[in-house]
Amino acid sequence: MVKRSKKAKTMRKLIKAIWIFNWFNSCGFTELVPVVGSRWDMERFGMIIVGSPRHADVLFIAGYQTLKSIKRAKRVYEQMAEPRVVIALGSCTMTGGMYWDSYNTIKRLEDYLPVTIYIPGCPPRPEAIFEACEKIFKHVKELE
């Protein structure tokens, strides 16, 4: 029997089907909504969209964030219950991207929230989102 820490045991029980909180920013909307739609159906993997942050496991920060909207995202993050995961989608969230010289967008998401997985692309394809979720499952399995 492998000895696992308490955190690893809870995560293995809870993160089997991911529930996502609905925070679709503008560029993320065009590629996250087809993931909900009928061609790349995400309900077959157990993922659904919930309306309240208390029910959710994962927060998708999709698309560029401005100073006004990152404050609201931070409040949402504080209301989520442990264990929780933040996924950064798109290159504008990671490095500033195309708006690197704009005075109102944020340039590095890790200054504001603790990020687990980065998905690059402009915007990333729906298959990339599924690959990222698979990596979360693998990471949780190997956690000690």
**DSSP of 83-136:** S-EEEEESHHHHH-GGGTT-SSB-S-GGGTS--SEEE-SSSPPHHHHHHHHHHH
CA angle (128 as vertex; 41, 45 as ends), nearest 5: 35
Is residue 72 within the footprint of another protein (CB under 8 A)? yes
Within residues 1-20, the interface with another protein by CB under 8 A covers: none
Is residue 112 within the footprint of another protein (CB under 8 A)? no
Work out how close the CB of 42 gets to another protein at its nearest, in angstroms, rounded to a whole number.
Answer: 12
Is residue 107 within the footprint of another protein (CB under 8 A)? yes
Tokens of 42: 């995400």
Piece of 6-14, 91-99, 112-120, 136-144 that binds another protein (CB under 8 A): 91-99
Is residue 122 within the footprint of another protein (CB under 8 A)? yes
Comparing CB distances to another protein, the nearer of 25 and 93 is: 25
Comparing CB distances to another protein, the nearer of 107 and 139 is: 107
Q: 87 and 58 in contact (C-beta within 8 Å)?
A: yes
Per-residue DSSP letter, 88: E
Q: Three-class SS string for 56-81?
A: CCEEEEECCCEHHHHHHHHHHHHHCC
Work out how close the CB of 101 gets to another protein at its nearest, in angstroms, rounded to a whole number.
Answer: 5
Binding site for another protein (CB under 8 A): 21-27, 29-31, 33-34, 36-39, 49, 64, 66-69, 72, 76, 95-96, 98-108, 122-123, 125
